[in-house]
Amino acid sequence: MTTTATQPFVASRRAALPGTLSLGLERTRAEVVTFFRERDAVVFVFAYPILMLAIFATVFGQDGTTVGPDPGIPFAQYFLPGMVATGVMLSSFQNLAVSIAVERDDGTLKRLRATPMPPAAFFLGKIGSVLVTCVIQMGLLLTAAALMFGVSLPTEPARWWTFTWVFLLGTASGAVLGVAFSSVPRSGRSASAVVIPIVLVLQFISGVFFQFNELPSWMQSVASVFPLKWLAQGMRSVFLPDWALQIEPSGSWQHGATAAILAAYLVIGLLVGVKTFRWRRRDDG
Amino acid sequence: MTTTAPAVLVQDLHKHYGAKRAVDGLDLRVETGEIFAVLGPNGAGKTTTVEILEGYRKRDRGSVSVLGEDPQHAGRAWRSRIGVVLQSADDHAELTVREMVAHFARFYPSTRDLDEVIAAVGLTEKAGARTRQLSGGQRRRLDVALGIVGRPELLFLDEPTTGFDPEARRSFWDLIASLREDGTTVLLTTHYMDEAEHLADRIAVIRDGQVVALDTPAAIGARAQQHATVRWHDGTRHEERTATPTALVADLAARFGGEVPGLEVYRPTLEDVYLGLVGEATR
């Protein structure tokens, strides 16, 4: 293109394009700023798991009832892992499945596509902002559990190591599944209506709201197909005493299977997400 | 002009959706540095064509070159040389005007001064406002700011002033005209004839996915000057189309021996020429 060399700004055109990683950070920053300015969503995302923990611990834990054989586990402690798991799913899967569907509708994705932003930077920004919100949410939930409901948090480093890898794998697979699922709703307006029932059903069958061992075995089998069950079980292995294995249907925490299944969902979500992702609305040619 | 490579070169472009031929053998050549307007009614294929040039859509057939590259296969470096202002957008509603311009500037290797861009689109006073609080016209001007912050060589504007009040349109036109002075090539779609006439160096009129007229606004306008309609009323209505209306009126004056009853001499406006070209039956 020697012919355009007469234009005044062409000399600076040789400047390098900004790197994907730094643009991923820039997108993360914009996403996090946007998230915290949507006050209603902030309150919902952060308060929901705490509120649910309060309700379930209060309703089921009346008169000092506990879970399992003596000495028993206080209800607040038993439900905490489920609330951790559900919080991770809300902030990763539900958040992205709905927000990307909305952004496809309102032109965010279309506009970004026309810029020299690499697509990977967009996804890095989504993952970055999900991580930030999840970490804050977990901090608030665990603090509330310890201070308001007297749950004693684990002290062994091994348990926190389990927490870390289950949390990261759960968040990552939830995020990529959210990206992939965002193409399912027909429009941004219908996104919540499509996503929330799925999330709710998974919460009921995966041992978030009920004791997993008391669910019918066929329901346990169905739940085992989905990641939330494994996320919740992994978190129970962090927050419940070892003897609680007596009330686990499989009699084991199944860490190997948990890691394998969450990782498999991560890979499947990535492959499907990359293949089905659209920058424009369905009706937009 | 002939020594410079064109900014856009389109040959025999086809795009079909099922049986509908949205673009049907369209040719287009936009020279570097000009403001080029694409006019046509809704559904004529304007947006489809422009979105193929922007790299959003794949063509079925034909060749397309935008800044020397095929948009279908062009990468980030190419995207950094174009600016795209879409028909409608209300994204990133929670960011302020300044944050949004700064955010988008980060994607480009070379950018304009942020404050200058915001001033150029007349949003200096709104720089700290969340974009959700902007009016429709302000929002469109922000879209233009985002389109030009990366110093594009070629700017696409898709129906930029739809829904503007007359004053906003005027200041928008001044903004676009100032871009030409910077050497930016502008490809504009619109369905306002006066907008094309005011801004464009050349106009292409599109109908049924084809270019049906291509010329400077003056030359397309001259077409309007070729024929006038003379009407008079002497009990019955008469109407005659003629290339020599003065001679006809002189004849009539002689025939009536002075005043011609109900005389009207009417020349079609540019708008009429356009409507004639796109074959619109009703006004």
Closest residue by Cα to residue B24 from B32, B34, B33, B15? B15
Q: How far is B171 from chain A (nearest CA, A)?
A: 24
Average pLDDT, integer, range B109-135: 92
Locate B11 and state its tokens: 């040959």
Each residue of A152-170: pLDDT tens digit? 899 999 999 999 999 999 9
Does residue B271 carry a pLDDT above 90? no
Confidence of residue A255 (pLDDT cuts 50, 70, 90): very high
Residue B144 DSSP SS3: helix
Q: Within 13 Å and on the Cβ side, how many CA atoms surround A155? A: 1
Query: Which of B5, B48, B104 comes nearest A115 by C-beta?
Result: B104
pLDDT in the model for residue A14:
53
Using an 8 Å CB-CB cutoff, list chain B residues near A25.
none
Each residue of B85-104: pLDDT tens digit? 987 777 888 899 999 999 99
Percent of chain A scoring above 90 in pLDDT? 58
Confidence of residue B78 (pLDDT cuts 50, 70, 90): very high
Closest residue by Cα to residue A92 from A158, A33, A35? A35
Does residue B108 carry a pLDDT above 50? yes
Average pLDDT, integer, range A279-284: 79
pLDDT in the model for residue A9:
45
Q: What is the mean pLDDT of chain B?
A: 88
pLDDT in the model for residue A11:
41
Query: Which of A3, A10, A279 comes nearest B5 by C-beta?
Result: A3
From CA A2, how far away is CA A5, in angstroms rounded? 5
Q: How far is A128 from chain B (nearest CA, A)?
A: 16
Using an 8 Å CB-CB cutoff, list chain B residues near A18.
106-109
Does residue B71 carry a pLDDT above 80? yes
- Closest chain B residue to A36 measured between Cα atoms? B94
Query: Which of A7, A107, A116 comes nearest B86 by C-beta?
Result: A107
Cβ atoms within 10 Å of A66's Cβ, excluding its own: 15
Helix axes A75-89, A157-181, angle to 10 degrees: 40
Determine which of B58, B60, B92 to mutate to test the interface with A (most A C-beta atoms within 10 Å). B92
Each residue of B174-222: pLDDT tens digit? 888 888 888 899 999 988 888 888 899 999 999 999 998 898 887 876 6
Confidence of residue B224 (pLDDT cuts 50, 70, 90): low
More confident residue, A225 or B282: A225
pLDDT in the model for residue B280:
52
Domain boundaries, chain A: 18-276
Using an 8 Å CB-CB cutoff, list chain B residues near A33.
94-95, 99
Side by side, which strands form the sheet with B154-158? B82-85, B154-158, B185-190, B35-39, B202-207, B210-215
From CA A141, how far away is CA A80, in angstroms rounded? 8
In the DSSP assignment, the letter for residue B5 is: P
**Cβ distance A162 to A238 under 8 Å?**
yes
Does residue A7 carry a pLDDT above 50? no
B32 in contact with chain A, both atoms CB, cutoff 8 A: yes
pLDDT in the model for residue B88:
73
B58 in contact with chain A, both atoms CB, cutoff 8 A: no
pLDDT in the model for residue B83:
95
From CA A9, how far away is CA B252, in angstroms rounded? 62
B43 in contact with chain A, both atoms CB, cutoff 8 A: no
Each residue of A31-78: pLDDT tens digit? 999 999 988 878 888 998 999 899 888 888 777 778 877 788 888 898
- Closest chain B residue to A35 measured between Cα atoms? B94
Amino acid letter for position B282: T
Residue B204 sits at φ, ψ, to 5 deg, of -115, 130
What's the ipTM? 0.83
Considering all CA atoms of chain A, what is the largest pairwise distance in Å, rounded to the nearest integer? 85
Burial B16-36 (b: 16+ CB within 10 A, else e): eeeeebbbeebebebbbbbbb
Confidence of residue B3 (pLDDT cuts 50, 70, 90): low
Does residue B282 carry a pLDDT above 60? no
Helix or strand holding residue B21 (H, E): strand B20-30
pLDDT in the model for residue B235:
85
pLDDT in the model for residue B162:
76
- How would you class B265 by CB atoms within 10 Å of its CB: exposed for 0-12, middle for 13-18, buried for 19 or more? middle
Does residue B151 carry a pLDDT above 60? yes
**Cβ distance B232 to B261 under 8 Å?**
yes
Does residue B225 carry a pLDDT above 70? no
Closest residue by Cα to residue B174 from B211, B144, B143? B144
Q: How far is B84 from chain A (nearest CA, A)?
A: 6
From CA A115, how far away is CA B91, in angstroms rounded? 14
Using an 8 Å CB-CB cutoff, list chain A residues near B3.
3
Using an 8 Å CB-CB cutoff, list chain A residues near B139.
none
Q: What is the mean pLDDT of chain A?
A: 88
B56 in contact with chain A, both atoms CB, cutoff 8 A: yes
pLDDT in the model for residue A33:
94
Average pLDDT, integer, range A173-200: 90
Confidence of residue A274 (pLDDT cuts 50, 70, 90): confident
B110 in contact with chain A, both atoms CB, cutoff 8 A: yes
Does residue B111 carry a pLDDT above 70? yes
Average pLDDT, integer, range A131-149: 93
Beta carbons of A23 and B48 less than 8 Å apart: no
Does residue B283 carry a pLDDT above 60? no
Does residue B154 carry a pLDDT above 90? yes
Contacts of A192 (CB under 8 A, 6+ apart): A98
Determine which of B94, B181, B184 to mutate to test the interface with A (most A C-beta atoms within 10 Å). B94
Average pLDDT, integer, range A102-129: 91
Cβ atoms within 10 Å of B135's Cβ, excluding its own: 12
Using an 8 Å CB-CB cutoff, list chain B residues near A124.
none
Q: Provide the residue count of chain B.
A: 283
From CA B49, how far away is CA B57, in angstroms rounded? 9
Beta carbons of B90 and A107 less than 8 Å apart: yes
pLDDT in the model for residue A282:
76
Using an 8 Å CB-CB cutoff, list chain A residues near B104.
115
From CA B225, how far away is CA B243, in angstroms rounded? 8
Q: Which of A103-107, B57-61, B92-96 has the highest mean pLDDT?
A: B57-61
From start to end of B130-260, where are the E strands? 154-158, 185-190, 202-207, 210-215, 228-233, 237-242
- Closest chain A residue to B91 measured between Cα atoms? A108
